[in-house]
Amino acid sequence: MKMTRIVLLALVLAGSLASVGSAATSVSAGIRIGPSGRATVDIGFFYDDLAPYGNWVQRPSYGWVWRPHAVASTWRPYQYGHWAWTDYGWTWISDEPYGWATYHYGRWYDDPDYGWEWVPGDEWAPAWVDWQAGDDYVGWAPLPPSYDVYRPSRYAGYLQPDDYVFVPETRFLAANVFSYAAPRSDYGRIYRQTRNFTSYRRFNNGYFNQGVPVSTFERRGIAVPRYQVADMRSNERHRGARIAQNRVEVFRPRVQRSRVAPPPSRPLARRSVVNAPQLRQQSRPGRDVRPQIRQERQIQRGQVRQQQIRQQQVRQERQIQRRQGRQQQIRQQVRQERQIQRNQGRQQQIRQQQMRQERQIQRNQGRQQQMRQERQIQRNQQFRQQGRQQMRQERQIQRNQQFRQQGRPDRQQGRPQGGGGNRQQGGNRQGRHGHGG
């Protein structure tokens, strides 16, 4: 089956080479090179350049869309090629001649009647895919037109497990990555065991495709080469992106947002325009299996919705548990803070009590010291008073002694004079008496 698809694709490409070669000059005339050296085109360039490889049909929801020629019923976008990690994130290196446009601009959607169809866009990205990974598998699927980088939740529920390509993590970087894809019957089971990694952000003049983290593969010992995106010459765009040394060369013109003539009014694109009945004859699947496919897809969508509802319920329960856990943590934290405040209050009371006791002790010590000083002063005063009294007494004694000493010479001088007179008078008396006798 795989060899049949390859042979069929080769025949289609071979049959298209003649028309591509004749129209190459006319199509290239729609490319303008700006002062910066980067090519500039408009949406009409897509109409003309993709005409040899598919058909343009007008659809009610998206306007003019494009569908590739003669693809197998199991074909889907981002199937033939491989992945490379560049400075713009995960970049799809397509093996199909129209891949420079359909895998880097615009979006794909799976029409239930006509299969996969491409809606043109004007913003370049290394790939516009949805990522799922888990259970040792990596999967990707084309992002629908409803995907918005700034509101990514709008496309939730649109993609089905069958829209993905799932390969083992160990084969994700293989050059022929699709040959390692898991059986399509296992996609539902694998999808339920994976989680989403889709993430895009503005980067330079395009978008950065984060996708599955590089560390997922490096933890398994898988080396992930790093490349730099470089511009390719416009005349080489149908050969696909080319890896040279550490560069990935791609044709990525700037697309102007301007009104252009629709495919039926363009000479080059007019031949590829078909109406709905014509496309229905060319498209897959056939009339006999289309209702069954619709029913299977409806069942898959119902299963996916139920799974999403269950996942949402699980998320809500986890959210409630987190909130309860946070509230419990907050309560515990409040209790701990209150306990800490109580302890701090108690410690503060203890410190205040200790300070009061220390102050009381200091007051008591001050009073005792003051009393000792007062007592010492009293003793000193007593000693001084006693000393003064003793000095007065000594002085009095000295005065008395001086008075006594002064009084004795006077008596000594007086006594001899008085005594001699008496004696002299007595002698006289005696003489008188003697003489008389």
> Pick from 91, 88, 125: which is nearest to 105 by CA?
125
Burial (CB count within 10 angstroms: exposed 0-12, middle 13-18, buried 19+), residue 364: exposed
At residue 82, φ and ψ (nearest 5 deg) are -155, 175
- What is the token pair recorded at 205? 């003049």
Residue 17's pLDDT is 42
Mean pLDDT (whole number) for 205-210: 92
What b-and-e string marks burial along 92-109, b requiring 16 or more CB atoms within 10 Å of the CB?
bbbbbbbbbbbbbbbbbb
Tell me how far CA of residue 34 lies from CA of 48, 226, 230, 362, in angstroms: 21, 29, 16, 92
Mean pLDDT (whole number) for 178-186: 93
Burial (CB count within 10 angstroms: exposed 0-12, middle 13-18, buried 19+), residue 297: middle
Residue 301's pLDDT is 64
Strand partners, 115: 111
Question: How far is Cα 168 from Cα 161, in angstroms, rounded to an integer?
Answer: 16
Question: How far is Cα 165 from Cα 83, in angstroms, rounded to an integer?
Answer: 13
At residue 141, φ and ψ (nearest 5 deg) are -145, 150
pLDDT at 13 over 60: no
Of 24-28, 181-185, 194-198, 429-433, minimum mean pLDDT range = 429-433
Q: Which residue bears the tokens 């986890």?
A: 318
Average pLDDT along the chain:
82
Listed ranges 186-200, 264-278, 317-331; the one with the highest mean pLDDT: 186-200
* pLDDT tens digits for range 248-290: 999 999 999 888 999 999 999 999 999 877 676 665 444 444 4
Eight-class DSSP state of 154:
G
pLDDT at 225 over 80: yes
pLDDT at 153 over 90: no
pLDDT at 1 over 50: no
Residue 350's pLDDT is 92
- What is the token pair recorded at 105? 């601009």
What's the pTM value of the predicted model, to 2 decimals? 0.62
Listed ranges 39-53, 370-384, 390-404, 417-431; the one with the highest mean pLDDT: 39-53
Question: How far is Cα 203 from Cα 212, in angstroms, rounded to an integer?
Answer: 18
> Higher-confidence residue: 342 or 415?
342
pLDDT band at 155 (very low <50, low <70, confident <90, very high): low
Residue 128's pLDDT is 96
What is the residue extent of each domain of the chain?
2-284
pLDDT band at 315 (very low <50, low <70, confident <90, very high): confident
Indicate the pairing of strand 107-111 with strand 39-42.
unpaired
Indicate the pairing of strand 129-134 with strand 137-142.
antiparallel
Residue 369's pLDDT is 87
| List of E strands, 89-224 | 89-94, 107-111, 115-119, 129-134, 137-142, 165-168, 195-196, 200-203, 206-209
Return all residues near 383 (Cβ < 8 A) that are at least 6 apart: none
Task: Give first-to-last CA distance, the chain, whole Å.
Answer: 210
pLDDT band at 29 (very low <50, low <70, confident <90, very high): low
pLDDT at 383 over 70: yes
Residue 157's pLDDT is 63
Question: How far is Cα 176 from Cα 181, in angstroms, rounded to an integer?
Answer: 10
Residue 416's pLDDT is 53
Residue 53's pLDDT is 94
